[in-house]
A and B are shown apart, each in its own frame.
Chain A
Amino acid sequence: MSTFMIRLFMGAMALFLAAPLAVVAGVSVNERKSLSFPPQGFSLEWYAQIFTDPGWRGALVNSFGVAVGASLLSVIVAFPLAWFLWRYHAPWARIVQILGLAPFILPPVITALGFLSFWSMAGFYGQPWTVVISHGIFFVTLPLVTLTLGFEAVDDSLVEAAATMGADDRTILRTVIFPLIVPYIISGLAFAFVLSLNEYIVAYMAVGFTVETLPIKIFNSLRYGYTPTMASVTVVFVVLAVLVFGLIARFGDLPRLLGAWRDDDGDR
């Protein structure tokens, strides 16, 4: 494979991935309410609409509220689990680990339907807070994976040194381990946050008829035709995702987080 062929192929894939986003970015600045590309005129009104139109602003606030709550909850559930799996030797704990990984591997519609039947049977169907718990559990996989990597990266000799000096488990956790895995907590939070913001089916089945998040609002509007605000929201979401993952890459080790081992990882 020559360098030219590699560039051509990777360029073609970049084009494929960017094309729908580019067109959406184009139609989002149309002056009139029509779906046309190349855009006719230039206007940022549809971006302002996200904040000025009560319906869209409400959906934005809902989405952010759910995403903040759900990402915090997922980390709160994942942290003690990842710590336990790292600290103690207990084969049955693997079952809990598998439960933490399952929601992400199974088709999402299954988890969504499970929550729908659960919340309606418990009598809380449609309560706004149910979607926070649903997303918090649905996305627990992400902080679980990043935190497991984080604990594995902790240098054993540091822990031993602290133990020799007489620190108990909790002191070691607080003074030695916690500072080392803060980056992994943050990336777990960030992954869960971005995915919760974008998630549709679980949110829809849990609270679809009472709370409108942005993806639900866009889907509902799509059924009645096109509004340019959908395009501007899409662009905002893409920019937000690039920003969040870009920050993780800037302050963390993204290739390692995604499973690459570098040559200088001496212990492998």
Chain B
Amino acid sequence: MRIKPRNASDYALIAFPAGMLALFFVVPFGIMITVSFFQRVQGAFYEPAFVLENYARFLSMFFAGILGFSLGLAALVAVICVILAFPFTYMLTRQSRRVQVVWLVFLLSVLSLSEVLIGFGWSTLLSRTAGITNLFVALGLMETPMSLTPGFGAVLTGMVYQAFPYTVLVLYPALSRLDPTLVEAARTLGSSPARSFFNVIVPALRNSIVSTLIMVFVFALGCYLLPQLLGRPSQWTLSVLITDQAIYQSNMPFAAAMAVFLVLVSLSFVALALLVGKREHTG
């Protein structure tokens, strides 16, 4: 069906989207990279220059700590989400179509929620006056209600909440296309449901699991508000710090340098995920 584009009017079709994406995505990206080499001016904004000092700041212990924390937190979120979402998605794809659709609507609704609203929701649920500890007190599990935020637990919970629907939707295609005869064969040969899940399904989708882990890791790296709303400043991640430098410290060059760094980290992980994902199709 596909033909080679023949004349100008065929090319005109793609010119508009290509132009829009070039002007409003590639050019801003280029400007950001350029700004990352600019010189910051105290009290003003920045001035054109070619300095490496914005990148040199990466070499400090402070930055190494933030980077280590961001990567570790994102990895932890990815692992928790995949451990929860893999069996969940498997069960979901075995439900009737109607049940699946209801769940998908719910998952999409949670996924589309603003980070502001998720942060607000969890800070309410973990608060002293309206929070879950009031329920524990009513049940006699605790003496007095207490606040569970800010803290590392709150940040982790909020980020898992945000990333869980994403994880399910990334796993959903692979699991819903899984050949049902695989499990049937294992069951006929006398394997228990739990054993056939761990010995047949998990190995069959090993590569999907790894690429999902990486995709969720990149997704969690992008979380920019929850550490700020639910955590202490020591729990701020790279994304939060970039926003803070750009908006509140007016240090665009340093923010841009950190963003370039974040792009490189994310892109290399996405490339890895694509590579792993591709292996599954070729066997």
Contacts and interface: CB of A to CB of B under 8 A. Distances in A.
Interface residues of A, number: 88
Contacts of A205: 243, 246-247
Interface in B93-149: 93, 97, 100-101, 104-110, 112-122, 124-125, 127, 129-132, 134
A198 to B, nearest CB: 4
Contacts of A110: 32, 259, 262-263, 266
B3 interface: yes
> From DSSP, what is the main secondary structure of chain A's interface residues?
helix
B246 A116 contact: yes
A237 B25 contact: no
B275 interface: no
B49 interface: no
Contacts, number: 259
Interface string A226-268: 0000110010011001100110010000110011110000000
Contacts of B190: none
Contacts of A180: none
Interface string A1-34: 1100010011001101101110110110000001
Contact of B21 (A37, A137, A254, A255): A137
B24 interface: yes
A17 B161 contact: yes
B52 interface: no
B104 A249 contact: yes
Nearest to A73: B20
A118 B130 contact: no
B1 A118 contact: no
B75 to A, nearest CB: 15
B207 to A, nearest CB: 16
26 contacts: A1-B193, A10-B92, A13-B84, A16-B161, A27-B130, A35-B124, A36-B130, A88-B2, A89-B3, A90-B5, A96-B18, A99-B22, A109-B259, A113-B32, A114-B31, A114-B32, A137-B24, A137-B25, A198-B112, A215-B116, A218-B120, A242-B105, A246-B105, A255-B104, A255-B176, A260-B93
Interface of A: 1-2, 6, 9-10, 13-14, 16-17, 19-21, 23-24, 26-27, 34-37, 77-78, 80-81, 83-84, 86-90, 93, 96, 99-100, 102-103, 105-118, 120-121, 133-134, 137, 140, 156, 159, 194-195, 198-201, 204-205, 208, 215, 218-219, 222, 230-231, 234, 237-238, 241-242, 245-246, 249, 254-255, 258-261
Those 9 A-B pairs whose CB atoms lie nearest each other, nearest first: A259-B173, A107-B222, A20-B121, A114-B28, A37-B130, A118-B28, A198-B114, A260-B176, A81-B17
Interface of B: 1-5, 10, 13-14, 16-18, 20-22, 24-29, 31-32, 35, 45, 84, 87-88, 91-93, 97, 100-101, 104-110, 112-122, 124-125, 127, 129-132, 134, 161, 164-165, 169, 172-173, 176-177, 193-194, 197, 218, 221-222, 224-225, 229, 239, 242-243, 246-247, 252, 255-256, 259, 262-263, 266-267, 270
